[in-house]
Amino acid sequence: MAFNLAQSGAAAASFAPSTARRVAAPDSVTAQRNAYQMPSLRLQRREACKPSVAPSRPAMPMACRAHGSKARRSGVPVFVMMPLDTVNKCGSGLNRRKAMAASLAALKSAGVEGIMVDVWWGTVESEGPGKYNFAGYMELMKLARKTGLKVQAVMSFHQCGGNVGDSVNVPLPRWVTEEMDKDQDLTYTDQWGRRNYEYVSLGCDAMPVLKGRTPVQCYTDFMRAFRDHFADFLGNTIVEIQVGLGPAGELRFPSYPESNGTWRFPGIGAFQCYDRYMLSSLKAAAEAAGKPEWGFTGPTDAGGYLSWPEDTLFFRQDGGGWDSQYGQFFMSWYSQMLQDHGDRVLSGATSVFGSTPDVHLSAKVAGIHWHYGTRSHAPELTAGYYNTRHHDGYQHIARMLARHGAVLNFTCVEMRDHEQPQDAQCMPEGLVRQVAAAARAAGIGLAGENALPRYDDTAHDQVVGTAAERAEEDRMVAFTYLRMGPDLFQPDNWRRFAAFVKRMSKSGSCREAAEREAHGVAHATGSLVHEAATALRC
């Protein structure tokens, strides 16, 4: 997800955090990476990577030749996120059909591997339980196939709207919110009684609270309906299923909601464990630990959404409750509840897609990089990531994903430490390294996203360095670019983006060579890109 800091420029934009692969044995990251590329595409990349010198072109700079001598045979495929409102609210068709056709054609011409699209639960199953309308998404899949683009389909079981970057409003299905209105403990709840309708509380995962079905059954039935409806596209056009596991599609608690100004960067957020289902689980865990007095509430000294760690007794560096026996118990329980939720939903996804050839699962983890330099890592803790100076929380998440052969999709890949506000001890580069190490240790692939739209070379250089210019075993399996829109198709932005795609796909080609190719792409697609930009603004 993204945050509006009311600032401009690349550095200001970088302050914010976010929003193919086979279900196979998790001991082969290289196999997962190669599975993204259909044979014909692999051949094209091998041919593209062969050195060639055209007499009509200027000589390649010495630095570029030296760098190019280390060019690798395969790169990182780039996907592009579609607009949030790609499909209209009733689900019957595409918004801006003309723009979609021109945009996809332009992306294909730039060497993009495919697109990512949110398949909204609130759109598809809006008319009632088990009544699915995929008509608009079918139109998109046909267009993608015609254009020759692959598709990453996101099973979006969360609400769209209420956070910066959410340009449209897609609530949960009406019949779901009706049940949440009747029993507000189906919503995530903080210690002040604030209810959050972004995602059904994981505390009731196994309870038949949604018209006789459990939430996990609803998610699994939705994915099964998707599989059956798009059977002819799975494995050839649709190559990835990203399974939504929480707000913004991320495996986390909604600890930093921006709606109504509840949270602002870089606040630490707040624990979301005060609905009666979560409290019932906490009570049982405390009794099992022989500490029943710990089971009545979460930490009461953890500050508020806008607090900083040192403002609180629980998160302060010296003597904070996070490092006490109680704090360790609570954080272990809170984070385990989140991991168990991911495990349950991914088990459903594996049962649906696990036997489908060339369809690959992924799950998204949020890039919570602010206050990362502190000992307690407070914002990560409130989100459910038990990651402190003494405890690596991402290893446990990666191992859970490995059980399902799922790739770990991570954001904030474009950020640099020095671009962030130093007083908030933001360390996105260190966080990305830690998550990458966890994925590597678990034997799963790591994919990436940028947290905010960035069209500048500085952000592109950071992504290329983090994702592509690495040894084969450390390279990301894919990168998804946020987001397709009129700004992407502005001439300068489009030229830089085309160069970025070339650099990613060739893993080792230098910027100068990629820019020369990008000029050709920009010239050849000028009218198409203009048409796309104009139509998207309508």
The two tokens of residue 134 are: 């995929």
190 annotated to bind ligand: no
Which one of 125, 429, 449, 469 is the catalytic residue? 449
Was 30 annotated as part of a binding site?
no
Per the annotation, does 316 bind a ligand?
Answer: no
Confirm whether 515 is a catalytic residue.
no
| CA nearest to 457, candidates 8, 4, 10, 27 | 10
The verdict on whether residue 213 carries a ligand-binding annotation is: no
364 is in an annotated binding site: yes
Note whether 401 and 354 are within 8 A (CB).
Answer: no
CB 17 within 8 A of CB 369: yes
- Asked if residue 456 belongs to a known ligand binding site, the reply is no
Any binding-site annotation on 131? no
Closest CA to 420 of 388, 452, 460: 452
Catalytic residue flag (residue 449): yes
**Residue 229 labeled ligand binder:** no
Catalytic residue among 125, 240, 250, 258: 250
> Residue 489 is encoded by which pair of tokens?
């198709």
The Cα–Cα gap between 121 and 117 comes to: 13
Q: What separation, in Å, do the N-terminal and C-terminal C-alpha atoms of the chain show?
A: 25
d(CA 129, CA 339): 27
Angle at the Cα of 54 from the Cα atoms of 49 and 58, rounded to 5 degrees: 105
Amino acid residing at 163: N
- Residue 266, preceding bond cis, omega within 30 degrees? yes
The amino acid present at 264, given as its one-letter code, is R
State how far the Cα of 233 lies from the Cα of 227, in Å rounded to an integer: 9
Count of Cβ atoms closer than 10 Å to residue 534 Cβ? 14
- Residue 166 is labelled as binding a ligand: yes
Residues 6+ apart with CB under 8 A from 96: 535, 536, 538
Which tokens go with 504?
């990613």
Annotated binding-site positions for substrate: 118, 158, 166, 364, 369, 411, 450-451, 483
Annotated binding-site positions: 118, 158, 166, 364, 369, 411, 450-451, 483
Known catalytic residues are 250, 449
